[in-house]
Chain A
Amino acid sequence: DSGVTQTPKHLITATGQRVTLRCSPRSGDLSVYWYQQSLDQGLQFLIQYYNGEERAKGNILERFSAQQFPDLHSELNLSSLELGDSALYFCASSIQAGGSTDTQYFGPGTRLTVL
């Protein structure tokens, strides 16, 4: 158990809908990262927050947004869902804002299925 929690574990929804994925980082970690894992794209970085502020953006679609709250938990909002958004979404946390030595610990993931 990494100490990172994600809810829900599974989510099934229809095209055009909006969903919210939730993540609580490890105790003491200030950074939260969101990654998407799909069969065709592999593991891709979406976005990073550090202590409530957006720090870095990756291949995140405009239909997707995220935020980190004062208690450091984070939510990833996915809207106007398409079939291609079906994937495993991971949250990871780390102590620092970045740096090559800062290990990221991953949550169990949320498996999103868009029908």
Chain B
Amino acid sequence: AQKITQTQPGMFVQEKEAVTLDCTYDTSDQSYGLFWYKQPSSGEMIFLIYQGSYDEQNATEGRYSLNFQKARKSANLVISASQLGDSAMYFCAIKMNYGGSQGNLIFGKGTKLSVKP
């Protein structure tokens, strides 16, 4: 079965600094997608960034980038120039490619990021 591990329950970062949130995954499949979501204290889940298992380049989306190391099965999220509004829970998730027939996300337990002014 697929599994996502986020080893950092909580992290602090100084405003304007960069921070890396760790995510490792376990799957024997070759085709999968990795997703990061942000959940502020208000509760909604916000999609941040996607990385496909066959993508050769690391995904980037504004201040978010993925450090994707397929051989190590890791997909760490890097947030550059942290802002106070980045304080939230961050979830890593994996989705398998079952020939397009289904595609539920499997989530890690999350990392709570706190940005200090």
* Residues on A facing B (Cβ under 8 Å): 2, 31, 33, 35, 42-45, 48, 55-56, 58, 88, 90, 92, 94, 96-109, 111
Chain B min CB distance to A27 (Å): 16
Contact B104 A103 (CB under 8 A): no
Distance of B99 from chain A, by nearest CB (Å): 8
Nearest CB in chain A: distance from B82 CB, A: 23
B109: chain A residues within 8 A (beta carbon): 42
A109 touches B47 (CB 8 A): no
Judge whether A43 and B91 touch: CB under 8 Å: yes
Q: A42-B109, A88-B43, A109-B43 are in contact. Are A102 and B102 (CB under 8 A)?
A: no
Q: B101 at the A/B interface (Cβ < 8 Å)?
A: yes
Which of B58-102 touch A at CB < 8 Å? Answer: 91, 93, 95-102
Taking a contact as CB atoms under 8 Å apart, the answer to whether B96 and A42 are in contact is no
The answer to whether A103 and B44 have CB atoms under 8 Å apart is no
Taking CB as reference atom, which chain B residue is nearest A55? B102
Given contacts A42-B109, A42-B110, A43-B91, contact A102 B103 (CB under 8 A): yes
- Per the bound structure, the CA–CA distance linking A78 and B41 in Å amounts to 25
A residues in contact with B105, CB < 8 Å:
33, 35, 43, 45, 92, 104
A62-B96 Cα distance, complex, nearest whole Å: 25
Q: Which of B46, B103, B107 contacts A98 (CB 8 A)?
A: B103
B87 to chain A, nearest CB (A): 19
> Are A100 and B102 in contact (CB-based, < 8 A)?
no
Which of chain A's residues has its CB closest to B29's CB?
A: A100
User: Is B43's CB under 8 angstroms from A97's CB?
Assistant: no
Q: Give every chain B residue within 8 A of A92 (Cβ-Cβ).
A: 45, 105
Q: Is the CB of A101 within 8 A of B52?
A: yes
> Which residue of A42, A88, A102, A111 contacts B95 across the interface (Cβ within 8 Å)?
A102
In Å, the complex CA distance between A31 and B103 comes to 10
Q: Does B50 contact A (CB under 8 A)?
A: yes
A33 touches B104 (CB 8 A): yes
**B106 located at the interface, meaning its Cβ lies under 8 Å from any Cβ of chain A in the complex:** yes
**From residue A52, how far is it (CB to closest CB) to chain B in Å?**
15
A96 touches B100 (CB 8 A): yes
Cα distance, A100 to B35, chains bound together (Å): 10
CB of A32, distance to nearest CB on chain B (Å): 12
